[in-house]
Structure 1
Amino acid sequence: MRYRVTHRTTYAYDEDVASSFGLAHLRPRELPWQQVAARTVVIDPVPGDITEDIDCYGNVVSYFHVSQPHTQLTIDATSEVTVLPTVYDTEALAGAWESARPLAKPTASPRSWAATEFALESPKVRHIGAAREYGAASFAPGRPIGDAVTDLMHRIKADFHYDKTATTVTSTVADVFEKRAGVCQDFAHLALACLRSHGIAARYVSGYLATRPATGTPRLVGADASHAWVAAWLPGSDQWLAFDPTNDQWVSDRHVTVAWGRDYGDVPPVKGVIFTEAKNSTLRVSVDVAPLEDSAEPSPGPALS
């Protein structure tokens, strides 16, 4: 599938901001299953300094500094992307889940070292007892890694409710267990905690999901949102099985990959520091993932999920 992705982030302040430093993960990655024809990031006011770099996980990162006074900052990212369905190695999917633990099985693959970091705790994914206990139901001894991960995905969808009011960007895995609700970021962190607490290497993935309207209903421009999912390591092939616990499905050609890391804290769409006397501010985010032939200007949509 070919898409045009537009992502607009607008900050507004009640007093001048003298200086704004920002970091953005808004440019989709080039991957074997994803080709990027174009990608741009435009910032208003125009930054005095803007730099693009590659971080330690291979993500494209934009750094910028707006030094002129402003009461509004707008970041527009536009990309044209082709996404192909991923074909997984069937033998790797059939391997026992225990082999996907790079700390316990460092010789399972020549690249086990590269997966090790993703089996460790991270600031937003703590290996709490509740996560280990919940995950245990999916990880019977010797169960194929593909089956175990898929079962965990099904259970999260059945046992946790999508509710944008239940959590915030600072909520923990323990909070999600307590409320049994959250958004895609929370369900990704929950799945990661279940996997990693059993030693399985898995990474947090940020990106976009193209929505499909009901038959006979026009697609709403701007109705998409930033999305998050998980990829579990398959040591037999060094592939990563990407799955979407929010929607109970393996990642498909509807998912556009932007960045990955240990958790949300490594790859937020935009973060930064401002110098201002402002007491109040507002944030608006609009996202649109449109089939290329149907692409149009974005309209305001939901905030990051």
Structure 2
Amino acid sequence: MRYQLSHRTEYSYDKPVRNSLGVHHLRPRELPWQNVAAHSVTIDPLPGDHAPDVDYYGNSVTYFHVTEPHRHLVIDSSSEVTVERPRYDDAALAQPWETARPLVGLSPDAWAATEFALESPRVAHIPEAAEYGAVSLAPGRPLGEAVTDLMQRIHRDFDYDTKATTVTSTVADAMRKRAGVCQDFAHVALACLRSHGVAARYVSGYLATQPPPGKERVVGADASHAWLAVWVPASGEWLAIDPTNDQWANERYITVAWGRDYGDVSPVRGIIWSKAKSSTLRVAVDVAPAG
């Protein structure tokens, strides 16, 4: 599938901002199943300093510094991306889930996945997560089957509720409320797996949505999305699963960045110097089929 992707982030302040220092992860990754034909980002006001780079995890990241006083800051990103359905090695997924634990040294490539089996700032290995994950991670169970079962249980047991959590909510918050959004579901799944030593990473990107039958697409109604990918040591692959929608990632998933958790790959974040006491944030995302 080929998509035309747009992501607009707009900040408004009640008083002028003298300096705005930010960083964004907005360029989709180049992957064996994903090609980026075009990409551009515009920032208004124009930054005095603008530095594209690649972060520790291989994601495209850009640092910017706006020094012109402003009460509005707009970041417009546009990309043309082609995505294929990822393919996995069935035999590798049939290996026991215990083999996906890099800390026990079962694979010579374990060093590359070790970091994703450890706690991270937003994914604490709380007892509740370990207990919940243990139900799916029965001894000797095939990795693909165990991970899929966990995905299905989270989808069934947790309610999608945009008011239940905030961007700063913890795994414990989401588990207590049994509710949240895609970011929370990914963090919960990561905690369930990592607390048993399984390596998995947080993935940020977009999901191309489809309107109900007979309805037209609503431009700008899409949103950023989050899922996770589990290390498959027998093949070196990462199985991408989406607890929010109860499915493996397919050709409708556009991968932008991955890391330990949301804090590593948030689309836009930054710091401002201002006497402003209030601000508003508006985000509009559109993922349109491009033929």
User: Do both share a fold (TM > 0.5)?
Assistant: yes
- CA distance in 2 between counterparts of 1:220 and 1:209 reads 15
2:202 matched to 1:204?
yes
Q: What does the per-residue CA deviation read over 1:7-59, in whole Å, with 9 as the maximum and x for residues that have no partner?
A: 00000001100000000000000000000001111000000111110001000
Q: What does the per-residue CA deviation read over 1:99-122, in whole Å, with 9 as the maximum and x for residues that have no partner?
A: 000001x242x3210100000000
Query: Which residues of structure 1 form unaligned runs of 5+?
Result: 294-305
Indicate the residue corresponding to 2:191 in structure 1. 193
- CA distance in 2 between counterparts of 1:249 and 1:206 reads 16
User: Tell me, what secondary structure is at the counterpart of 2:103?
Assistant: coil
Q: CA deviation at 1:241?
A: 0.3
The TM-score, its normalising length taken from structure 2, stands at 0.99
Indicate the residue corresponding to 2:40 in structure 1. 40
2:170 matched to 1:176?
no
User: Tell me, what secondary structure is at the counterpart of 1:284?
Assistant: strand
- CA distance in 2 between counterparts of 1:3 and 1:51 reads 26
Q: CA deviation at 1:275?
A: 0.3
Q: CA deviation at 1:193?
A: 0.1
2:24 matched to 1:24?
yes
Equivalent of 1:227 in 225, 228, 236: 225
- CA distance in 2 between counterparts of 1:3 and 1:16 reads 37
- CA distance in 1 between counterparts of 2:282 and 2:215 reads 26
Q: CA deviation at 1:88?
A: 0.1
- CA distance in 1 between counterparts of 2:183 and 2:239 reads 18
- CA distance in 2 between counterparts of 1:208 and 1:226 reads 5
Across the aligned residues of Structure 1 and Structure 2, the Cα RMSD in angstroms comes to 0.6
User: Tell me, what secondary structure is at the counterpart of 1:103?
Assistant: helix
2:52 matched to 1:62?
no
Could you list the structure 1 runs, at least 4 aligned residues long, displaced by more than 3 angstroms after superposition: none
Query: Which residues of structure 2 form unaligned runs of 5+?
Result: none
User: Tell me, what secondary structure is at the counterpart of 2:102?
Assistant: coil
Q: CA deviation at 1:128?
A: 0.2
User: Tell me, what secondary structure is at the counterpart of 2:271?
Assistant: strand
Amino acid in structure 2 at the alignment position of 1:100: A
Amino acid in structure 2 at the alignment position of 1:183: V
Q: Output aligned runs, 1:1-305, within 5 Å.
A: 1-104=1-104, 106-108=105-107, 110-293=108-291
- CA distance in 2 between counterparts of 1:39 and 1:245 reads 29
The TM-score, its normalising length taken from structure 1, stands at 0.95
Count of aligned residue pairs for this structure pair: 291
- CA distance in 1 between counterparts of 2:192 and 2:106 reads 23
Q: CA deviation at 1:173?
A: 0.4
Amino acid in structure 2 at the alignment position of 1:87: R
- CA distance in 2 between counterparts of 1:267 and 1:96 reads 30
